[in-house]
A and B are shown apart, each in its own frame.
Chain A
């Protein structure tokens, strides 16, 4: 079973459209994230949720809105897509640090192309 799964894997859409990327984790983790990887491979955190509560919200346009219906899901909705939104979006999850430490597990990425 895939630990962190996100859909769709590939998405091509026109400027101005609204799209969503879904993410689910079956690891029982409390924390979920969205990262954006740009064309230079740089990974930057966008959002982090802990038990459905937003705890990190980096400088991201408010066209991006995360939604966490429960702690196993964190969806990303993007309004009015722009060319610069083209990137790979990674969902991830982790457990809060404990004796076993903390590791972040990534989904396989969603390749978004805005044309």
Chain B
């Protein structure tokens, strides 16, 4: 069965520091992978996605993620965090052979310290 694991429930970083949010997936075929961000009281906004090709994908707001098939991972990174990046981050895997299903991780809450 497909699943997504985000091992870190909560992460705190200082403003200007680098960030890496972990995501591991379980899926038998080549996955479609996504990162979404949810600011407090807001909906989910797509940060970036991976379908095929270059395993390092660039997204909005200076985020990037790297797909590593051997590790079944799709970690999100940002070289320098801004206070406005404080939010909830969700990794998701899409499968389009079982009814267009998306599976979300449980989210990682990011706190940014000034």
Contact = CB atoms under 8 A, between A and B. Distances in A.
Contact of B88 (A41, A44, A104): A41
A102 B96 contact: yes
B96 A41 contact: no
B106 A42 contact: yes
B107 A107 contact: no
A101 B100 contact: no
Interface in B40-58: 42-46, 49, 51
Contacts of A90: 43-44
A94 interface: yes
A45 B96 contact: no
Interface in B68-114: 88, 90, 92, 94, 96, 99-102, 104, 106-107, 109
Interface residues of B, number: 24
Interface residue tally of chain A, by bracket?
20 to 34
B67 interface: no
Query: Per DSSP, are chain B's interface residues mostly helix, strand or loop, or mixed?
Result: strand
A104 B51 contact: no
A43 B101 CA distance: 13
Contacts of A94: 100, 102
B51 A50 contact: no
A103 interface: yes
B30 to A, nearest CB: 12
B54 to A, nearest CB: 14
Interface of B: 32, 34, 36, 38, 42-46, 49, 51, 88, 90, 92, 94, 96, 99-102, 104, 106-107, 109
